């Protein structure tokens, strides 16, 4: 897409610095503690503002302008629901199942509201982004395809992940322009299959190495898993458990880095910003903006790995550093090209969006973004 002659590259960069972000992060935590969690809504806004404000496209930063008070209200409702859930769960074990089914049923709505809220309060050059209020699409994706995963023994999983990206990209808009993702189902199958192979390969090598080194102690390990007794732990067993954990971590990070880097590239390189109304005739369709992702799997793995080690060794104090360098790497590997004049874009009328969906997504960590 990006090779189109009429499109000119636009500079995109990230200017955040770990030291600066650390200070904001630690003050956020302190004030959240002192205010018994109330400040966390302001903390969330400040966090997001820092990352948006340091992402600079063509000389202009992005802006996050949600109201902390609205977020606080949403959080209070969600916390009340979660407390209710965990209390009833202990008294009526049956309630847990009912809650989970209910949760699965409202998930499409939650995801949609969360996307709507985030887009509505994200802006670039004083123009907000938007997300379609399109519930049937969300239901089809999360419930329709979601139910097919166990029925197809997971074979549909890459297709499902692809559908989520499609739902996410195609419903976003900027002014009267919309984002459009061309189907890349085949690529998704390839990446998820390879990731699975990588996972198996690393685990196989790990198992082989561990059993070669600690052959004898594995037997001990398998023989003593019962609770309440002293498991027959000797240093060899413990060391082999640690080794397995280490290998598991590496296998996980390798597979995650591979899938994230490849799907990021595939999705962005096939996304464009186009006019909402497609032309009637088959005229060559020049998009307003085109994108390209260039994340490299080995660099991504290196960042994931060193981030994890850094966070463990610093008991969490390096989290800001880890977040900043990951954001920097991702943004620096997203390339944008556009027609010179953005004047053609015009702001559209937008309504307020409630926060309950987005805060539920936030607290339960519904991660579907990039």
Partner 1 sequence: MKFNAIYYDGVHPVAQDVTLLVNDSGIVKVIGEEVLYQCQWKDIDVSNQLGETVRYLKFPNGAKCECHDHQQINQLEKRYNSSVFSLFLHNLESKWQTVLVASLAVVAFTLGMVVYGIPALAKSVAEALPVSVDESITQGTLKILDERILSASELDSATKNRIEEKFLDMVEHAEDEHTYHLLFRSGLGANAFALPSGHIVVTDELIEMADHDEEILAVLAHEIGHVVHEHGLRSILQSSAVALLLTAVTGDISAASGFAAAMPIILLETNYSRKFELEADAYALDYMKTHNIDTNHFATILLKITGESGEGEASPFDYISTHPATKERIQPFKDNSLLNK
- Binding to partner 1 in span 204-263, by CB under 8 A: 224, 226-235, 238-239, 249, 252-253, 256
The footprint of partner 1 on residues 326-355 (CB under 8 A) is: 326, 342-343, 345-347
**In the range 121-140, which residues lie near partner 1 by CB under 8 A?**
124-127
Burial (CB count within 10 angstroms: exposed 0-12, middle 13-18, buried 19+), residue 159: middle
Q: Residue 133 or residue 350: which is nearer to partner 1 going by CB?
A: 350
Choose between 55 and 271: whose C-beta lies nearer to partner 1.
55
How far is 350 from 343, CA to CA, in rounded Å? 19
307 sits near partner 1 (criterion: CB under 8 A) = yes
Q: Are 6 and 284 in contact (CB under 8 A)?
A: no
Rule CB under 8 A: is residue 9 a binding residue for partner 1?
no
Q: Given candidates 6, 83, 197, 312, which one binds partner 1 under the rule CB under 8 A?
A: 312
Q: Both tokens of residue 165?
A: 């990206």
Q: Which is nearer to partner 1, 75 or 162 (CB)?
A: 75
Minimum CB distance to partner 1 smaller for 155 or for 312? 312
Please select the residue that binds partner 1; options are 70, 163, 319, 360, rule is CB under 8 A.
Answer: 319
Write down the residue that tokens 């939650």 correspond to.
110
Nearest CB to partner 1, comparing residues 5 and 343:
343
Kindly state whether residue 316 participates in binding partner 1, applying the rule CB under 8 A: yes
C-alpha–C-alpha distance, residues 75 and 188, integer Å: 35
How far is 130 from 111, CA to CA, in rounded Å? 14
Report the site for partner 1 in 260-299 (rule: CB under 8 A): none
* Shorter beta-carbon distance to partner 1: residue 123 or 132: 123
Tokens for 55? 């992402």
Q: Total residues at the site for partner 1 (CB under 8 A)?
A: 78
- Residue 86 sits in the site that holds partner 1 (CB under 8 A): yes
CB of 280 to partner 1, least distance (A): 26
CA proximity to 74, closest of 82, 86, 64: 82
Do 246 and 226 touch, CB atoms closer than 8 A? no
- Which residue in the set 212, 277, 280, 315 belongs to the binding site for partner 1 (CB under 8 A)? 315
Contact between residue 294 and residue 265 where contact means Cβ atoms under 8 Å apart? yes
CB 234 within 8 A of CB 136: no
123 versus 170: smaller Cβ distance to partner 1: 123
Phi, psi of 353 (to 5 degrees): -125, 130
């Amino acid at each position: 897409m990006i090779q189109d002659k009429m499109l000119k590259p636009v500079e995109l960069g990230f200017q955040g610095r770990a030291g600066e972000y650390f200070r904001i992060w630690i003050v956020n935590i302190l004030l959240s503690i002192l205010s018994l969690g109330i400040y966390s809504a302001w903390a969330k806004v400040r966090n997001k503002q820092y990352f948006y404000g340091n992402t600079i496209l063509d000389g202009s930063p992005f802006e996050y302008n949600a109201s902390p008070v609205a977020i606080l209200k949403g959080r209070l409702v969600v916390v009340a629901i979660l407390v209710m859930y965990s209390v009833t769960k202990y008294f009526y074990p049956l309630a847990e199942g009912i809650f989970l089914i209910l949760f699965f049923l409202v998930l499409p709505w939650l995801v949609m509201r969360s996307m709507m809220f985030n887009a509505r309060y994200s802006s670039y050059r004083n123009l907000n982004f938007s997300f379609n209020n399109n519930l049937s699409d969300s239901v089809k994706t999360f419930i329709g395809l979601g139910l097919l995963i166990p029925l197809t023994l997971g074979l549909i999983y890459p297709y499902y992940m692809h559908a989520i990206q499609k739902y996410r990209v195609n419903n976003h808009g900027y002014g009267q322009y919309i984002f459009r993702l061309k189907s890349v189902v085949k690529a998704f199958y390839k990446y998820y299959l390879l990731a699975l192979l990588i996972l198996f390969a690393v685990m196989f090598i790990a198992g082989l190495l561990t059993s070669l080194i600690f052959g004898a102690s594995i037997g001990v390990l398998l023989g003593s898993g019962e609770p309440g007794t002293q498991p027959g732990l000797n240093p060899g067993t413990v060391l082999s458990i640690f080794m397995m954990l280490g290998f598991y971590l590496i296998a996980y990070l390798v597979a995650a880095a591979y899938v994230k880097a490849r799907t990021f590239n595939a999705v962005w390189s096939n996304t464009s910003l186009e006019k909402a109304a497609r032309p009637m005739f088959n005229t060559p369709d020049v998009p307003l903006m085109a994108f390209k992702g260039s994340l490299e799997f080995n660099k991504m793995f290196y960042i994931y790995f060193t981030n994890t080690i850094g966070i463990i060794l610093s008991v969490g104090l390096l989290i800001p550093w880890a977040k900043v360098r990951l954001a920097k790497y991702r943004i620096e590997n997203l390339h944008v090209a556009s027609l010179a004049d953005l004047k053609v874009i015009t702001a559209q009328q937008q309504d307020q969006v409630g926060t309950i969906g987005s805060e539920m997504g936030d607290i339960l960590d519904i991660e579907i973004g990039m």
